[in-house]
Structure 1
């Protein structure tokens, strides 16, 4: 009996192409489960975790009743889900939240400009100043929350039970342990 017959079968039973395909599949499975590779972000290698405070400003949030939003969703001491650059990070504690007064610049007869309260032509728009308190990886390029660097000017998406809106980072404070 020959090792290879005229149809390309080993010992007349196993096709060489089928045997090659089965070996490739086994090697792929072996590579995935035995040697999965490195996990995590490259930015987190050799980084230490530090507490961080991030100040956010929300401009022109359209909401019918801001007090209801504060009572049901956004609360000091509560948590909000943060999405940075379309990457969900998870829940971060809200350290403080403050509703900012709406003002307009009004020129005076003597040429000076005064900032006066807005006469509320749009009752459904509000501005907020928020401080989030969490943990970040400290790298040479700055703090990293989740897998995203945190820089002044970048947008955060905040999401909760009854809200989803964008805010902009205006300050970052690293706290010493």
Structure 2
């Protein structure tokens, strides 16, 4: 075949060399390496995100909240694309309150009794995201207030909406 440095190169050697070059290119352009380089340069920062999951039909809301708190991290799916894992900081049940003003001037507040089986839950999460001029990018997709997301834990998968983003 052809000669390289005065030595003949067989077809098998050429194939092995091209596989080695392809493997090296895969390592250089791998997403994990890009993420490590982004962390080293400081472009990736911890961002706190609040996600509201509304109208969850829960048979046992206390067991759901405890299961969600036991999960240290959740899978986040943004616009039907897996975006990675996020850390759970806190999970709170958000209750609607009704306020009534009495004729004597007294204000009475109570939970909304219209739908006791549907629950609203707020997830406070922390994610490592890239912060750019157009907002934060997490898992290759922009994450803004109003973005639909899915949260997947050990025993549940819920749809929610990003309701808050706290930049460092």
Class of the TM-score when normalised by the shorter of the 2 chains: 0.5 to 0.7
- The alignment status of 1:144 with 2:137, answered yes or no, reads yes
Cα 1:34–1:155 shift into 2, 3 Å: same
Counterparts of 2:93 and 2:153 in 1: how far apart (Å)? Answer: 18
The match for 2:125 is 132
Counterpart among 49, 73, 98 of residue 79 in structure 1: 73
The match for 2:4 is none
Counterparts of 1:34 and 1:56 in 2: how far apart (Å)? Answer: 40
Counterparts of 1:59 and 1:88 in 2: how far apart (Å)? Answer: 21
The match for 2:53 is 58
Counterparts of 1:99 and 1:66 in 2: how far apart (Å)? Answer: 9
Bigger Rg, structure 1 or 2:
1
Instruction: Indicate conservation of the 8 Å contact 2:54/2:119, yes or no.
Output: yes
Q: Secondary structure at the match of 2:89?
A: strand
The match for 1:154 is 147
The match for 1:69 is 64
Moved more, 148-157 or 132-141: 132-141
The match for 1:13 is none
The match for 2:22 is 32
Counterparts of 1:50 and 1:93 in 2: how far apart (Å)? Answer: 13
Q: Secondary structure at the match of 2:126?
A: strand
The match for 2:91 is 97
Aligned length: 146
TM-score (norm 1): 0.64
Cα deviation for residue 115 of structure 1 reads 7.8
Counterparts of 1:35 and 1:161 in 2: how far apart (Å)? Answer: 36
Per-residue CA shift, 1:22-75, capped at 9, x if unaligned?
A: 9xx889756633544744499x9777011110011111011111100112x211
Q: Which has a greater percent of helix?
A: 2
